Structure 1
Amino acid sequence: MLKGDKVGLRARHEADIPVLQEELGGDVLVTARATGMPWRPFTPGAAEAPFVVGDAKDGVVQFSVVDLESGDLVGVATLWGIDTYLRSAHVGLGLRPSARGKGYATDVVAVLCHYGFVVHGLHRLQIETLADNDPMLRAAERNGFVREGVRRGSHWVMGEFLDEVILGLLVDEWRAAAA
């Protein structure tokens, strides 16, 4: 398990899947905002359902996020789009409704940065989030991510186009902030 101050990132357990599917995957608005794709229902136990983790896939590492103190499942974290040539990847996370607003997102991003830069030896991490996702923007910026641009009207979410903010962090910036 990878550990931060508040959270641990561990392998997904079978018992996590129904909880995540109900609380994250079952919320139409959250799914549309997080994935940029239309929501659709999945049959429990379906192999292609979100949050089901099978054999390791190149370019994607998925974690369940747990509270270190209680051991409770609080969400998911992903390092995706891992490019071993350019040494870059994307950071993503989702928190259960009961876990939001407690500082977990900042810690999850910190642990994913450590994982990406130290374990994978990456040079750059990137976060893409909707322009009105203030909690994710704060979590990214608290970890040293810099706003690099806005993709105007790039995400269709429940009947409207929304802007997406792109944030980046280089390993040298991360090391300097940690020192």
Structure 2
Amino acid sequence: MLRGEKVLLRARREEDVPVLHADLYEDVAMRSRADGRAWRPIPANSPASPFAPGPPSDDAAIFSVVRLADDTLAGEALLWGIDTHNRQAHVGLSLRRAMRGGGLGTDAVRVLCHYAFRVRGLHRLQLETLADNTAMTGAAERVGFRREGTLRRNSWVDGEFLDEAVFGLLAEEWAG
């Protein structure tokens, strides 16, 4: 387990799945903004649920985010596309609607950076988010990520193409 000031990142548990699936997947509008893949109906108890625990993987590290103040499941955080040759990965985060706005996202990104740079020895992290996602862009910037560009009309969301912001952070830039 990895502890921050406000969150704990731990391995996914079976009891996390129905909560995460209901709050982060069944909310079609939110899921469409958080994932580049098209939403499709998947039951929470299906092995195809994006929240179903799976075996450890070399190219992803998937965590449940727990709010330390009351031990409440807050969402999920992950490093994905881990490239051990180039020592880089992508950062992902989704918080349940009721858990947003209290600094948990910034703390979770900070803890993921610690894991990536200190535990995994990675050199670079990249974070992509919709350009209008001020919560995630703010969290990225507070942790030290730099905006590296905009992918114009890159994401199909609810019937329109939206811009995607790309952020990067190098190990030597991270203040840890």
Query: The TM-score by the shorter chain falls in which range?
Result: over 0.9
Q: Deviations over 1:54-74 (max 9, x none)?
A: 111220010000011211100
- Which residues in structure 2 correspond to 1:1-179 (within 5 Å)? 1-174=1-174, 177-178=175-176
Partners of 1:74 and 1:43 in 2: CA distance: 20
Q: Shift of the alpha carbon at 1:44?
A: 2.9
Partner AA of 1:99 in structure 2:
M
Note the residue ranges of structure 1 that are not aligned, 5 or more in a row. Answer: none
Q: Shift of the alpha carbon at 1:38?
A: 1.8
Q: Shift of the alpha carbon at 1:48?
A: 1.2
Partners of 1:53 and 1:93 in 2: CA distance: 16
Note the residue ranges of structure 2 that are not aligned, 5 or more in a row. Answer: none
Instruction: Describe the SS at the equivalent of 1:8.
Output: strand
Partner AA of 2:64 in structure 1:
S
Partners of 1:37 and 1:121 in 2: CA distance: 29
Instruction: Describe the SS at the equivalent of 2:113.
Output: helix
TM-score, structure 2 normalization:
0.98
TM-score, structure 1 normalization:
0.96
Partners of 1:122 and 1:89 in 2: CA distance: 8
| Percent pairwise identity | 56
